[in-house]
């Protein structure tokens, strides 16, 4: 972007930049960091792994 100051940008160029930023932001490390900072934990982890999740 800095090399092309004052020039227009195509939709493809915007999509390319947005894609790079999105995939950096949605990395597993960032997601787990946000969950830890928000202090989100399963209330009863054993219960989540039980048969309540099975369809039958």
Q: What is the pLDDT of residues 4-49, one digit of tens each?
A: 677 888 889 899 999 999 988 888 888 888 888 888 776 666 665 5
What pLDDT does residue 41 have?
Answer: 72
Output DSSP code: residue 41.
-
Q: How far apart are CA 41 and CA 45, in angstroms?
A: 9
What is the C-alpha to C-alpha distance for residues 54 and 22, in angstroms, rounded to an integer?
Answer: 33
Domain membership flag for residue 1 = no
- Quick one: pLDDT band at residue 53, thresholds 50, 70, 90? low
Which one has a higher pLDDT value, 52 or 42? 42
The pLDDT assigned to 6 comes to: 79
* Number of separate domains in the chain: 1
List the domain range (segments joined by +) for residue 32: 9-53
pLDDT (0 to 100) of residue 31? 83
- Contact in structure between 42 and 48 (CB atoms under 8 Å): yes
Asked if residue 46 is part of any domain, the answer here is: yes
In a domain, 25, yes or no: yes
Residue 29 lies in a domain: yes
Q: At 31, list the tokens.
A: 């997601």
């Amino acid at each position: 972007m800095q090399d092309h100051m004052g020039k227009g940008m195509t939709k493809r160029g915007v999509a390319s930049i947005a894609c790079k930023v999105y995939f950096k932001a949605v990395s597993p490390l960032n997601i787990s960091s946000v969950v830890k900072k928000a202090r989100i934990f399963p209330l009863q982890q054993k219960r989540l792994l039980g048969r309540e999740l099975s369809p039958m």
